[in-house]
Amino acid sequence: MTLVDECAPAGIVGTTSPSHSASRPLRAVLLALPFVALAELLLMRTFYRVGIFIPKEGSFETVYAALSDVGSFAFDLASVLALAAFGMLALVALRRGDLRLGLAMATFVISIPAALAAGVEAVGPVPRLAFLLAVLGVVLPFLRSRADVAHRIFVGAVASCFVLSTYTGIAQGPGVNGAPAVAGGQIAAELLVVLAAAIAAMAWIRTEGFRLGPPVVAAPLAASFLAAWMANGSVTGILVLWTVGLRLYLAPWVYAIALWAFLAAAIGWLRHWPWRSAGLVLLVVAGVFVSSTYQQSLGVLAVVLLTDGVAFGGLPALGERWSRRERWWAAGRRGPAASATKRAPTSASR
């Protein structure tokens, strides 16, 4: 089983891979999770909460109830998929002989039911520290690798944001009074979010080269944020806080530019590095301050995908279907000759 899709450009790969029996279910879970988690974000955290303040009469009441149920189901399914992914990744780490990483992943999994049993209000420092331990266990091997510099800086910025979110979460938790620099930590985390988005776009350009399509497609989506802000800043601010946890300390145009860069990277990586695009989706759903164990689990899995699974020896290949799609893209961009050239080494490698 290959680590990454064989048609992908040269990048970071590990020296060993998950076994064939383990990689197929892991691939299925990691493929489904971004779609399910995004459905939860849109239907439960956004549509459901907005609908509470809208009079529900006639057909809208039926639609609201149906979509809310779908969002609730998506939340439950995403939680189960995340736990399944954690369990499989912990087994992969232990089979590779990485006891520390395997224990870090297992410790976080154990902390989730413990936190749920204690109640959401009682989620204290233990689950947050277990989350941070898992993040560092995934990120540090990647930062020591020979990956692209911009890519490593981006992942480091994401990890630093999670470190700040862990501190501010513990500092604002029950039984903690007078912790220093809580507001400063929140502002610094939002600055890191903006910088990380710009670095993500830079990493995409450095690893794949610039293409005009991704930033063009991303521009209207980023502009819609500014339009919504100008139409009703207070409502937009509340929606952003509900969905991704940003408090919008900075100027709105700064976030619009960051959103544009982030979306351009997500769209741009989709062609050759789809796991990274999936990781960016999970990063959005996890939010900035990962205030629940569900969001924390998505945050850890996001960095697993964004680091190309280096700590686990790689990620499951997407298979021949994705290879054919990539060759079709190459043919449309460079002509049939480029497609034939790209197809030859793929066939030889098999």
Structural domain boundaries in the chain = 20-318
Euclidean distance between CA atoms 170 and 188, whole angstroms: 16
Distances (CA, A) of 246 to 139, 167, 237: 23, 16, 8
Predicted pLDDT at 61: 86
Euclidean distance between CA atoms 270 and 214, whole angstroms: 10
Q: What is the pLDDT of residues 253-288, one digit of tens each?
A: 999 999 999 999 999 999 899 999 999 999 999 998
Q: What is the pLDDT of residues 105-149, one digit of tens each?
A: 988 888 777 666 665 544 567 888 899 999 999 999 999 999 999
Distances (CA, A) of 74 to 42, 44, 164: 10, 8, 28
Euclidean distance between CA atoms 200 and 190, whole angstroms: 15
317: left (phi over 0), alpha (psi -120 to 50) or beta: beta
Residue 252 burial by Cβ neighbours in a 10 Å radius (0-12, 13-18, 19+)? middle
Predicted pLDDT at 110: 85
Full-model pTM:
0.85
Euclidean distance between CA atoms 215 and 197, whole angstroms: 13
Q: What is the pLDDT of residues 12-34, one digit of tens each?
A: 333 345 555 467 899 999 999 99
> Do 158 and 283 meet the contact criterion of CB atoms below 8 Å apart?
yes
Amino acid at 182: V
Predicted pLDDT at 50: 82
Predicted pLDDT at 350: 34
Predicted pLDDT at 170: 82
In tens digits, what is the pLDDT along the chain, a chain of 350 residues?
334 433 344 333 333 455 554 678 999 999 999 999 999 999 998 888 888 777 877 788 889 899 999 999 999 999 999 999 999 999 999 999 999 999 999 888 887 776 666 655 445 678 888 999 999 999 999 999 999 999 999 999 999 999 998 888 888 776 666 678 788 888 999 999 999 999 999 999 999 899 999 999 999 999 999 999 999 998 899 989 888 989 898 999 999 999 999 999 999 999 899 999 999 999 999 998 888 889 999 999 999 999 999 999 999 988 655 655 555 555 555 544 444 434 333 333 33
